[in-house]
Structure 1
Amino acid sequence: MIFIVIRIDVRPEKREDFLEGIVRYSGQVREEPGNLVFSCYESVERANEFTVLANYVDQAAGEAHVTSGHAKWFFGWLPSVVTEQPKIVFQELPGEGWGPMGEVVMEPRESEPA
């Protein structure tokens, strides 16, 4: 599995442009074969700092993503809305996706009354 985290700092005056673009791009990426997750989140501590999480089943799916028309559009468009070059963490990990967090133990829930 490929695991990618990208930090994007958006220019305040370009915030709405970024939000429109990332919504468009997110929908396109989620339709790609081999995409497991593509989500974008804004920091609760720093306005206009966004984090993208992306997971692909394998290297081939990640490479197909990078060469897609919508990715080429996004990579070309992104400099127009950011304050600096985005930062990325890219890792190839064993496994097939998200698993349960072992440190958190869930108690069985009782059924709520109707």
Structure 2
Amino acid sequence: MIFIVVKFKTKPEWADKWLDFVGPFTTATRAEEGNLWFDWSRSVDDPAEFVLVEAFRDAAAGGAHVGSDHFKAAMADLPQALAATPKIISQTIDASGWSEMGEMTVE
């Protein structure tokens, strides 16, 4: 799977609007063949920072995502709301989904 984490630092005036702003992009990406998840979180330390955790089945699915119209539109539209260039980690890993945490069991 392709596992990606991206940190987005928004301009302060966009922080409370960010999730609505990226809503159509999120919905379209989640509907893609090969998308495993596309989940947003907000930093507890910085309310203007959002973290996107996303995964795609394989390189072909990830490539289709980057080639999609909604991805291209997002790359053109999102910068207006950002205070800095996003930071990314993108890795191919040997997994097909989330595993249970071995150090903790909840019954």
Whether these two folds match at TM > 0.5 is yes
Partner of residue 20, structure 2? 20
Instruction: Mark the structure with the bigger radius of gyration.
Output: 1
Q: Which amino acid aligns with 1:33?
A: E
User: For 1:69-101, what per-residue CA distance to the aligned partner results, in whole angstroms no more than 9, with x for missing partners?
Assistant: 000001111110000100000000002111111
Query: Is 2:42–2:51's contact at 8 Å kept on the other side of the alignment?
Result: yes
Partner of residue 112, structure 1? none
Partner of residue 111, structure 1? none
Gaps of 5+ in 2: none
Q: Which runs of 4+ in 1 moved over 3 A?
A: none
Q: CA deviation at 1:105?
A: 2.0
Gaps of 5+ in 1: 108-114
Partner of residue 44, structure 2? 44
Output the CA distance in 1 between the equivalents of 2:9 and 2:94.
Answer: 30
- 3-state SS of 1:74 partner: helix
- 3-state SS of 1:95 partner: coil
- Identity over the aligned pairs, expressed in percent? 37
Q: Which amino acid aligns with 1:71?
A: F
User: For 1:41-72, what per-residue CA distance to the aligned partner results, in whole angstroms no more than 9, with x for missing partners?
Assistant: 10111111000000000000000000000000
Query: How many residues align structurally?
Result: 107
